[in-house]
Structure 1
């Protein structure tokens, strides 16, 4: 006689327990995979969005985007005078170059390494190109309070600022990456100085092309490159007189001498030439310029100058002898020398002080 199992008989305790175990194990595996995925995602976000390397990249991206304000506002970048001195940098450094208009070009920024030091800080190294040349810089970054209680915040343990010790010779005006500056406005004690040396804060990494390019003065480009944080590099921009400068001084001096030649006296007033005659002048003297001084403009100790330069005036005048009353014509060149100090006024005009 056959027997058909009932539903209750099919669901024996051992069978039910095994199914439950398998279900629990399955859900635990799913939960473990989910937790692992969450932890992996969190780790990736913490590394790529909130990591030390991401923090340093944000700084470099700001420089690459010519956004000096954002770079300077990052924690640990800006320094007070006291902090500059503690970092071994000149406390009186000018911040005139910490602006977007004076930033150079940074390209091809890449993370090279992110190493945790024994103190828990991160040494993050990036490679990049400045003015087409490859360089790299290591940044020291330390963690601060966590964002949302989960992700770390960061700050530069050592500020990525450096100093360019710039000597500006024979002028007060110059350019930094095309941005016009004047020593009298960026540093105290330089007013009227013909040559000044000024420490300028600059972002690291950075490349600054210094030059002078005006109507009367020019200087070839001097490039200062900073790739090591808290470093001091030296640069010098030396201005020289342009052909327009020399030509303008020549024109003004020629005009001055021509005006002297219009005075029909033996000793023209305020002029570098004249004649002393013991006999009696029988007619009005007639002056002309036989040869003009050839102007050369060169830097002196305190300003631009034309050194003593020879020229010659020509005098024609009738003279009556006091001895026998005879009249003769004096017709001869009268040599002279002329020097000058030249000042470029703030409005761009020249002031020539003749000597």
Structure 2
């Protein structure tokens, strides 16, 4: 009986030891996987790529600066994280005081980048499993400016730009692209890549330009003004009409023979200046034809002369209207 009991006890003891060993192995596996310092970082990146800003903010334990929050959720956030690829999680590095640093390596648009997350152990669950949390910090701020515009597009989302500027709280890592695309004004896209909370963020500056559509609209109105001016000068038979062009002579011009025409219309150039859009001075050529009489000899000759002319305008543009006001000096 005693030998049988010893064998039974030995079996129980072996089973207990195996169970303890298995439990230790299981605890280590859990602490190195779902309870590892890397896990909050994985969940954070997943939240970014899913556009779940509230979840990402909770995992990052970050404070939000007093800035525009348009980039912190939904499409804008998903777009920022969409180009993150090839993510590799490094081993946790001890930083003392129950803190570790977890590095991740990844690429954005082919550029190799690294972000480091500082975490601290905040306790345990079920006595054995570690709890880790990203150390709190403020979110970075991205500054955006745009020339002569009060709106822009940032990561596919329309944003207001009071007085041509705004600041946006942003998550990291990510890529942010600003652009302006309108019927009359546009700016080429410009990008900034943010890899960490302490990495300086390059501002996005949109250099707005007048579109070909606006130049064509202004050119059409200038052409209409000049053609009307020439037609009116013909009807009124004026050598010096209320137009940018005129002709002076000491001869007598035969009434009814004056014929003005525009031989070269001005090229239109529109530039920003002093918070407005201005049209550069408009230069062109006009031809006058007429019959003239020399007051001294009485000889009759044909007048056919081309005159250079130049004038300025005031340009006013609203949402769907272009107004060009000629400014003539006499």
- Same fold (TM > 0.5): yes
- Answer with 336-345 or 323-332: which moved more: 323-332
Confirm or deny that 1:116 pairs with 2:94.
yes
Deviations 1:85-111 (A, max 9, x none): xxxxxxxx3322223323232112221
2:189 aligns to what SS in structure 1?
A: strand
3-state DSSP of counterpart to 1:48: coil
**Mapped partners of 1:121, 1:238: distance in 2:** 44
Determine the C-alpha separation between the residues in 2 that align with 1:341 and 1:227: 46
Q: Paired residue for 2:173, among 192, 202, 205? A: 205
Aligned to 1:32: 17
Separation of aligned partners in 1, 2:55 and 2:254 = 81
Separation (CA, whole Å) in 1 of partners of 2:274 and 2:293: 49
Q: Deviations over 1:303-334 (max 9, x none)?
A: 33221132233445678999999998866445
Counterpart in 1 of 2:70?
96
- Is the contact between residue 139 and residue 158 of structure 1 (CA under 8 Å) also seen in structure 2? no
Scaled by the length of structure 2, the TM-score of the pair is 0.78
**Deviation string, structure 1 residues 11-38 (Cα, Å, up to 9, x no partner):** xxxxx33432332232122122213323
Q: Which secondary structure state, in structure 2, belongs to the residue aligned with residue 74 of structure 1?
A: helix
Q: How does 1:155-166 map to 2 (within 5 A)?
A: 155-159=133-137, 161-166=139-144
Deviation at 1:259, TM superposition (A): 2.3
Specify which of 122, 132, 136 is matched with residue 114 of structure 2. 136
Q: CA deviation at 1:301?
A: 3.1
Q: Within 1, Cα distance between the matches of 2:141 and 2:253?
A: 72
Alpha-carbon contact 2:44-2:60 (below 8 Å) kept: no
Q: Is the 8 A contact 2:65 2:139 kept in 1?
A: no
- What's 1:88 paired with? none
Question: Structure 1 residues 73 and 118, CA, compared in 2 at 3 Å: closer, same or farther?
Answer: closer
User: What count of residue pairs does the alignment treat as equivalent?
Assistant: 317
Match in the other structure for 2:146: 168
C-alpha contact 2:27 2:128 (8 A) present in aligned 1:
no
**Structure 1 residue 221 corresponds to structure 2 residue 189:** yes
Residue 346 of structure 1: aligned partner:
319
Of the structure 1 ranges 98-107 and 122-131, higher mean CA displacement relative to structure 2 is found in 98-107
| Alignment correspondent of 2:59 | 74
Q: SS state of the match for residue 79, structure 1?
A: coil
Pick which of 67-76 and 105-114 moved more. 67-76
> Is the 8 Å Cα contact of residues 316 and 332 (structure 1) preserved in structure 2?
yes
Unpaired runs of 5+ residues, structure 1, are 1-15, 82-92, 185-189, 191-195
Deviates more, 1:128-137 or 1:283-292: 283-292
Deviation readout 1:166-212 (Å, 9 max, x if unpaired): 3323544433334343413xxxxx1xxxxx44332222111123333
Within the candidate set 265, 273, 276, 1:292 is matched to: 265
1:58 aligned to which of 37, 40, 43: 43
C-alpha separation in 1, matches of 2:316 and 2:133: 49
* Alpha-carbon separation, structure 2, partners of 1:244 and 1:97: 31
Tell me by how many angstroms 1:80 deviates.
Answer: 4.2
Q: Give the whole-Å Cα distance in 1 for the aligned partners of 2:324 and 2:104.
A: 54
> Higher Cα Rg: structure 1 or 2?
1
The equivalent residue for 1:259 is 228
1:230-309 superposed matches below 5 A: 230-234=198-202, 235-263=204-232, 264-265=235-236, 266=238, 271-273=243-245, 282-283=255-256, 286-309=259-282
| 2: CA distance, partners of 1:42 / 1:153 | 13
Q: Using the alignment, how far apart are the partners of 1:144 and 1:339 within structure 2?
A: 70
Alignment of 1:310 with 2:295, yes or no, is: no
What runs of 5+ residues in structure 2 fail to find an aligned partner? none
Distance 1:72 1:353, change over 3 A: farther
What's the TM-score, normalizing by structure 1?
0.74
CA distance in 2, matches of 1:258, 1:154: 77
Which digits, 9 at most, give the CA deviation of each residue in 1:48-93, with x for residues without a partner?
A: 2233210011111222334444323435134243xxxxxxxxxxx3
> How far apart, in 2, do the equivalents of 1:344 and 1:295 lie?
15
Deviation at 1:274, TM superposition (A): 5.0
